[in-house]
């Protein structure tokens, strides 16, 4: 009997994916893989190497050598690019935008998907992103698609920034989220969309504890049927 599942959680920004995935990973003793962080690291690399996103030859070269490493830790994963810890840098606004821009490009996606499949091949992983249930692991054991209304998501991102001491303009946060939602869901390569067999969860009025408990229960009940 299989007991090391692949669990896919997809959805738009600030829908609750990463917070939920992190907690579930702890409860299940699974590894949490934040695929968005990998696109962010790619974006940062283009900035460091001064590569324009329409220069496909340089991008291909960059992707050949890219060294992204995730260090799994209970206190939170750390992400390393060429051996340097970029966990904080990749959360900054310029990289958030760049990640969504670079995620449109086919050769970038092919490389990231390849790395992600290797990371998850033995199961025991919770992977969050935009295309995990549709493209990376279409055969995932459990698939969830988290959504929340844009006002709630904007407020969450605004609050997150505030907790870090940043005072952002709420309307600007909302505009950026809307831009990213559109960019992520209208691209031709692996657009953000719900897999047919994913369970959809609207977290607008849910607490983190409720989200986690709900998914945990689905997995426990699913387990009984394996």
Instruction: List residues near ligand CDP by CB under 6 A.
Output: 13-14, 18, 35-37, 39-40, 99-100, 103, 129-131, 180, 184
Residue nearest to ligand CDP (CB): 36
Q: Which residue is it, tokens 């950026």?
A: 176
Of 104 and 199, the one with the shorter C-beta distance to ligand CDP is 104
Of 184 and 206, the one with the shorter C-beta distance to ligand CDP is 184
- Dist CA 113 CA 39 (whole Å): 10
**In angstroms, what CA-CA distances link 42 with 66, 107, 202?**
8, 12, 30
- Dist CA 152 CA 130 (whole Å): 19
- Least distance in angstroms from the C-beta of 189 to ligand CDP: 9
- Least distance in angstroms from the C-beta of 84 to ligand CDP: 18
Nearest to 14, CA basis, from 189, 184, 143, 133: 184
- Least distance in angstroms from the C-beta of 223 to ligand CDP: 25
Of 37 and 59, the one with the shorter C-beta distance to ligand CDP is 37
- Dist CA 226 CA 1 (whole Å): 7
Of 18 and 77, the one with the shorter C-beta distance to ligand CDP is 18
- Least distance in angstroms from the C-beta of 4 to ligand CDP: 21
5 touches 64 (CB < 8 A)? no
């Amino acid at each position: 009997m299989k007991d090391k599942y692949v669990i896919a959680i997809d959805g738009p920004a600030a829908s609750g994916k990463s917070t939920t995935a992190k907690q579930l990973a702890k409860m299940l003793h699974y590894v949490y893989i934040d695929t968005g962080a990998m696109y962010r690291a790619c974006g940062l690399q283009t900035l460091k190497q001064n590569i324009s996103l329409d220069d496909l030859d340089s991008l291909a070269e960059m992707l050949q050598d890219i060294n992204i490493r995730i260090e799994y830790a209970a206190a939170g994963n750390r992400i390393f690019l060429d051996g340097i810890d970029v966990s904080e840098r990749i959360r900054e606004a310029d990289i958030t935008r760049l990640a969504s821009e670079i995620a449109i490009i086919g050769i970038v996606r092919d490389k990231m998907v390849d790395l992600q499949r290797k990371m998850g091949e033995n199961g025991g992983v919770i992977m969050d992103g935009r295309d995990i249930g549709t493209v990376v692991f279409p055969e995932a054991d459990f698939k969830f698609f988290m959504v929340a209304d844009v006002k709630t998501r904007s407020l969450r991102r605004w609050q997150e920034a505030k907790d870090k001491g940043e005072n952002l303009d709420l309307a600007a946060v909302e505009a950026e989220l809307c831009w990213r939602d559109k960019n992520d869901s209208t691209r031709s390569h692996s657009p953000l969309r719900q897999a047919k067999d994913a369970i959809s969860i609207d977290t607008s009025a849910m607490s983190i504890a409720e989200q986690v408990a709900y998914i945990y229960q689905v997995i426990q009940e699913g387990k009984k049927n394996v």
